Amino acid sequence: MRFLKEGNERYLKSKLVSKKAYNKKDRELFDKVQLPFAVILTCSDSRVAPEIFFDLKMGDIFTIRNAGNIVDKTVLGGIEYATGSVNCKLVVVCGHSNCGAVIAACSGAQLPPNINHIAEHIKPSMKDGCEVDHVIRNHINTMIEQIKADEIVKNLGVKVVGAYYDMYSGVVEWF
């Protein structure tokens, strides 16, 4: 977590250290092995790029992205692989401000079937009403609990935490 927190501080101060251009030597190394230190489940929103707001380089994190940072069997399989085979010891569920998936779920509107499928995963986090920011935070916690309940994750003793990325300020809040 320290690397992620320090990276976000550098990002906020515009003092980035990670090089964004990768050379042939980097590609050759990553062709043979991957050594991420954390798994980050986050939203597929194009404005939410953990490699950027944590000032990381290719290979540092195992990133899983989908609309609404939903935990399902496919995501759990990715987390199990990253924690079991790649040896990541930290899983971060990172939600973000102004999440379109949460806004859609809270809208009450008739949604197309596939978007409604996403909204159905978010609706349990709306138990205390539909203030979007509150639902986002509830949803992060709900997804954390689903990951923690996974037998493989439990047996590996992986740490699972939540983070909230504020797109306006760039600040990542941890919980």
Residue 119 has pLDDT above 80, yes or no: yes
Residue ranges per structural domain of the chain? 2-174
pLDDT value for 25: 78
Return mean pLDDT, the chain.
95
pLDDT value for 24: 80
Q: What is the mean pLDDT of residues 106-127?
A: 97
- Which residues fall within 8 angstroms of residue 128, CB to CB, at 6 or more apart? 134, 138
Q: Which of the four pLDDT bands, split at 50, 70 and 90, describes residue 20?
A: low
Q: What is the mean pLDDT of residues 137-143?
A: 98
pLDDT value for 26: 75
Structure confidence by residue, pLDDT tens digits, 26-69: 777 778 788 999 999 999 999 999 999 999 988 899 999 999 99
Residue 133 has pLDDT above 70, yes or no: yes
Structure confidence by residue, pLDDT tens digits, 82-100: 999 999 999 999 999 999 9
**pTM for this one?**
0.95
pLDDT value for 49: 96
* CATH numeric code, 2-174: 3.40.1050.10
Residue 126 has pLDDT above 90, yes or no: yes
